[in-house]
Structure 1
């Protein structure tokens, strides 16, 4: 740490130790730029507390000095919500040192995790107790518990187990004045007043700093049927979800749609020997898991029957079922490497939308037509969680267009996609959050009443607007001197 004569920095060093207050640009570089390098910033300091008590004291010190705090987990966010702005006035509060697994209870089926614990570490700890931690993300090796709570992440198993909000039973949260809200109890039923944890889940660090959380665990599946099928079109994919669910019920764990554009980008890069699971280039594919916890039941026969009937009906052109855990892993690797393949391919414009499941085909058709009209030859990279209506609907540049020309039209592309989403009564953010990237569209499409209520909650919990200011809600809407949004 430099600047030891600075009283504020000296106070922080006295709380967490001088080695955990970073100010040199070389030391802070990994904390001040987002994964996509869209929102590079500069921090007054990066502070790395090691306990809830230290977080509380750091937050209280920042409040006393009027310094804004940017909470950060694994820094895998995609909307500019977890990195500082360029003012060098904000403190990044990195929770990476707080990675402990505090408690696992196989009888209660709960696990209590500190905010810096990665999703993968939580999965592994649960598996050691023959339990399933149901969150599963492409970035699970680096995404942290605090981060997934901040955006209410969903992931690949939402269809069966729900998103982060559904899985969280309790939270420990440091408030803007340094007080600690201890609501970690793992009760499945507690109707004593407002359920405060839901205020903080999905709030993107604007209302409090989540330091620890208790989650549900589940029985470990004894059998998993993983399959890949080429479907006629997105409508066929939606119909296949219905057919599969009718046949095996809640055992459908994951159901992922991949357009050819997404798969082609993965296959065009040397990503660990990826190969197409099927002969021929089909325009749409679905990757699915059907899982069963009971040793008495095997869903494979039912899945095979559904696929055979769908092939006869013309919904499915071809399909393959994994014959081993390794083959299943290889199929899922294709899906999980789509974001990295896009990054390697060049600049991309990303969207994280949701519509009713039945409207997915309408969205894909209407958005594709509108984009092609605006930018002929634009490449659509569409993939996502059909089971909950969430599509990652991204775009790469047309052949021959420069990177600069493509990036210059990003706002125009966002407007097209968001307009179609709104027309179909969808959401412009399903699991990535608002951050800074989607703030304009958020203000455009969210109702004035909802915005008014959100600003009121923000003022009540963070009256000085020091937690992640300017993210989600813009500063002028939550300024303590502003009497109203309207």
Structure 2
């Protein structure tokens, strides 16, 4: 990679050259404004930057990319700064400028008949939800950070969430992408063609690229009819194996099963302890819990009756031990608040090595039990457990530090060893070390260690073709120099 000879001077020249081309608000040098953007959501990664660029138009993005390329200034695209893997945190050497897409916040179009919305990169997910609902449509992807996560970040990380079971990840929900490429050109793929056989699918190449191949400025997104009725149920079960049996029964009974979340009793306990206003949905104690949701697109369907019927059979043969159905929308939201608060609650319990991984669905119950036991045996005093989206094999697998462990020592010395052990178990099970959070900088070395050679060769070849000087989100996902330091 070719660096600017004097990074500080290059940043000053970039700001000076941009000044006559962009609005004054686009160029930010105030340290207090920049400071909150230098640390990731988990507070694991800390960068340095003296220049924040916040364009309000695609033309401004192009101007920034053009001049940054000429000045050899790396750009770190950032949306809601909710990355779980340090994917939007600038390098620690201060040579990069942060490129915030938050001001690109227009919903350019929403066509309820076509079932499509064109949203700019800075549109917040919850705002997109509200706009679609006003047209009796919905964007069927949701996650705990919906109040801060932006469309550009969701596209760039191929976000998942709790409705993947029925509708898929962002990759399935993106019908087109607009992006500024490293040479400053604008790729416009927003037309959402049903058939387009002109070679490589550039839209899908940009989805999940984590800002390393282009700056996503807008996306055409697929909408589905608004929910006419839904039934959320909380089920107490004995084991993950029983949960898989229950999942298969619901899948046979209906194509409208949208979510099937599995969590252990200790995750529920962490939420009840650390998240005010939460209460257990069931009165008894159960080692494992399932939160499931079935929806209906028309008023004629009755999802509650279907859920009751499947659960009645599950009770009869011992697959499920207890259950309650949400009696109101407020109660359904209370169920989901528990699920969406697990990460916050577990963070409050103390330091942990957190892993977003996936394994084949059929292997997930066994993996959750055996991997936790293996970690507890290998690292005495720690406590391992997993929760996640059973329907798509996505496990959020956490290994919590032993009591009184110094957090600085834990993250610097022990977490790399723990994570390597967990990732080895994942690969042995035929899984992936990243399910929905991406690689960012946190998992880059592990991808280099464990990634199949053909995949790594292809990733580097694509990066080299698009961004040979590594000016787009340097140090994330993949580098052209495998031994490059984590910033």
Scaled by the length of structure 2, the TM-score of the pair is: 0.94
- Aligned residue number for residue 437 of structure 1: 442
Q: 1:428 is paired with a residue of what secondary structure?
A: coil
2:20 aligns to what SS in structure 1? helix
Give the C-alpha shift of residue 394 in structure 1.
1.3
SS at match of 1:380: strand
Is the aligned partner of 1:327 residue 2:331?
Answer: yes
What residue is the counterpart of 2:208 in the other structure?
202
Q: How does 1:405-424 map to 2 (within 5 A)?
A: 405-407=409-411, 408-424=413-429
The answer to whether the 8 A contact 1:39-1:85 is kept is no
Q: CA RMSD in A?
A: 1.8
Task: Establish whether residue 226 from structure 1 lines up as the match of residue 264 from structure 2.
Answer: no
Distance 1:282 1:14, change over 3 A: farther
Contact 2:119–2:151, Cα closer than 8 Å, also in 1: yes
Q: How many residues align?
A: 476
Give the match for residue 389 of structure 1.
393
**CA–CA distance in 1 between the matches of 2:18 and 2:338?**
44
1:158 alignment counterpart:
164
Does 1:344 find its partner at 2:368?
no
Q: Which residue of 2 aligns with 1:31?
A: 37
- How far did 1:392 drift? 0.8
Deviation at 1:381, TM superposition (A): 4.2
Q: What is the Cα deviation at residue 415 of structure 1?
A: 1.2
Single out whichever of 330-339 and 461-470 deviates more from structure 2.
461-470
Question: Which of 140, 144, 149 is matched with 2:150 structurally?
Answer: 144
In structure 2, the partner of 1:287 is 291
TM-score with structure 1 length normalisation?
A: 0.95
Q: What CA distance in whole angstroms lies between the structure 2 residues aligned with 1:204 and 1:251?
A: 31
For residues 446 and 194 of structure 2, the distance between their equivalents in structure 1, rounded to whole angstroms, comes to 36
2:452 alignment counterpart: 447
* Structure 1 runs not aligned, ≥5 long: 480-486
Contact 1:4-1:10 within 8 A present in 2 as well: no
Q: State the shift of 1:345 in Å.
A: 2.1
Q: How does 1:227-306 map to 2 (within 5 A)?
A: 227-248=233-254, 250-269=255-274, 271-306=275-310
Point out where structure 2 has 5 or more consecutive residues left out of the alignment.
1-7
Q: Are residues 1:14 and 2:20 paired?
A: yes
Q: Is the 8 A contact 2:376 2:384 kept in 1?
A: no
Alpha-carbon distance change, 71 to 4 in structure 1, aligned in 2, over 3 angstroms? closer
Q: 1:402 to 1:32 in 2, by over 3 A?
A: closer
CA distance in 1, matches of 2:403, 2:284: 23
Match of 1:309 in 2: 313
Greater shift, 2-11 or 52-61, is seen at 2-11
Segment of structure 1 superposing worse, 67-76 or 334-343: 334-343
1:375 maps onto 2:386 in alignment: no
Comparing 5-14 and 131-140, the one that deviates more: 5-14
Alignment match, 1:102: 108
Q: Tell me, yes or no, if the aligned pair for 2:368 and 2:385 is still in contact at 8 Å.
A: no
Deviation per residue, 1:110-163 (Å, 9 max, x gap): 000000001111111000000011110110000000111111011000011110
Q: CA deviation at 1:5?
A: 11
User: 1:369, 1:32 → 2: CA distance?
Assistant: 37
Cα distance change on mapping 1:3 and 1:441 into 2, 3 Å = closer
Distance 1:299 1:450 in 2: 42
SS in 1 for 2:108: strand
Q: Once the 2 structures are TM-superposed, how far is the Cα of residue 469 of structure 1 from its aligned partner?
A: 1.5
Q: SS of 1:102's equivalent?
A: strand
The answer (yes or no) to whether the contact 1:3–1:9 under 8 Å persists in 2 is no
Contact 1:458 1:478 in 2 (8 A): no
**More displaced, 114-123 or 369-378?**
369-378
**Runs of 4+ residues deviating >4 angstroms:** 2-5
Structure 2 partner of 1:465 = 470
2:10, 2:393 → 1: CA distance?
52
Q: 1:320-346: per-residue Cα shift (whole Å, max 9, x none)?
A: 000100000000000011111122222
- Following TM superposition, by how much is the alpha carbon of 1:382 offset from its aligned partner in structure 2, in angstroms? 1.9
Query: Residue 94 of structure 2 is aligned with which of 88, 91, 116?
Result: 88
Distance in 2, matches of 1:477 and 1:346, equals: 32
Task: Render the CA deviation track for 1:49-84: whole Å, top value 9, x for unaligned.
Answer: 001110011011100101101010100001111110
Superposition deviation, residue 105 in structure 1: 0.5
- Which residue does 2:358 correspond to in 1? 354
